[in-house]
Amino acid sequence: MSHLLEVRDLSMRFGGLLAVDGVEMSIKPGEIFAIIGPNGAGKTTVFNCISGFYKPTTGVITLEGQSIAGLGSHSVAQRGVVRTFQNVRLFKSMTALENLLVAQHSRTSKSVLGGLFNTRNYRASEAAAIENAMKWLRFMGIEAFANREAGNLAYGHQRRLEIARCMITQPKLLMLDEPAAGLNPQEKVELQQLIERLRTEFGVTVLLIEHDMGLVMGVSERILCMEYGRPIAMGTPEEVRSNERVIKAYLGEA
């Protein structure tokens, strides 16, 4: 199997607006792949189609050769495709730890009776879930805030927690929608290192949308540039950076 994710002839129409038009991409296992382009180019709509939030108007989306187009976000997540959002979406009144416990709930004991009677198996699986959650909080450098409400964490920490919440489900494909938005320059450098570590240490494939060209060019192996819903260039950072259409449509103004 050469590709983890394949997208063919993807289009998405909202009434009279063709927001995505003929997008194609193939992402290899372990690759870090970015989608760039001006505001309104259709990047988030592509994300919404892949992650099951939208049913594409046309097109094929496969994960390890199996179609996932139009399955719905829950089913797509169960198959190992998880994502973050442009605006962080956490359970803000739950603690950081609780957010990670909820995320792995489907992998811990499902027995309601076990929970009611506090059986040994139930306690063991809860303890394992807490240990796993703490491991991820440590990995993200935010274990000191385990018991703080997610909504009260610093913004950069909320972003890390959101990524941890994805990673704790052991995804095949991690989709990050503008992960650098709102971060300061130091946090952006740390984010790049974090993305690289996630790939190296956990083998996860990463698909990101990002406007920060320092991060995109530094972390991505291949980049797709979109404009008005259409793919206008695809290649390595060097190829995309020097592409005339990309410079005209986007980089000239970025």
Binding of ligand ATP by 39 (CB under 6 A): yes
Neighbour tally for 196: CB within 10 Å? 14
Burial class, 238, CB count within 10 angstroms (exposed 0-12 / middle 13-18 / buried 19+): exposed
Binding of ligand ATP by 52 (CB under 6 A): no
Please give the residues from 1 up to 20 whose contact with ligand ATP meets the rule CB under 6 A.
14, 17, 19
DSSP state of 67: E
Binding of ligand ATP by 195 (CB under 6 A): no
C-alpha 227/C-alpha 243 separation (Å) is 13
Q: Which is nearer to ligand ATP, 13 or 79 (CB)?
A: 13
Residues β-bridged to residue 61: 7
Long-range contacts of 122-129 (CB under 8 A, 24+ apart): 129/101, 129/104, 129/105
Q: In the bound complex, what is the minimum distance in angstroms from residue 86's beta carbon to ligand ATP?
A: 6
Q: Which stretch binds ligand ATP (CB under 6 A): 41-49, 66-74, 133-141, 245-253?
A: 41-49
Q: Which is nearer to ligand ATP, 48 or 104 (CB)?
A: 48
Q: Which stretch binds ligand ATP (CB under 6 A): 36-44, 76-84, 152-160, 216-224?
A: 36-44
Q: Which stretch binds ligand ATP (CB under 6 A): 32-40, 155-163, 166-174, 179-187?
A: 32-40
Angle at alpha carbon of residue 62, lines to 82 and 231, rounded to 5°: 85
Binding of ligand ATP by 44 (CB under 6 A): yes
DSSP structure string for 182-250: T--HHHHHHHHHHHHHHHHHH--EEEEE-S-HHHHHHH-SEEEEEETTEEEEEE-HHHHHT-HHHIIII
Q: Which stretch binds ligand ATP (CB under 6 A): 40-48, 94-102, 212-220, 245-253?
A: 40-48
Residue 33's H or E segment, with its range, is strand 32-36
Q: Which is nearer to ligand ATP, 139 or 212 (CB)?
A: 212
Binding of ligand ATP by 179 (CB under 6 A): no
- Number of residues engaging ligand ATP in binding (CB under 6 A): 11
Residues that bind ligand ATP (CB under 6 A): 14, 17, 19, 37, 39-45
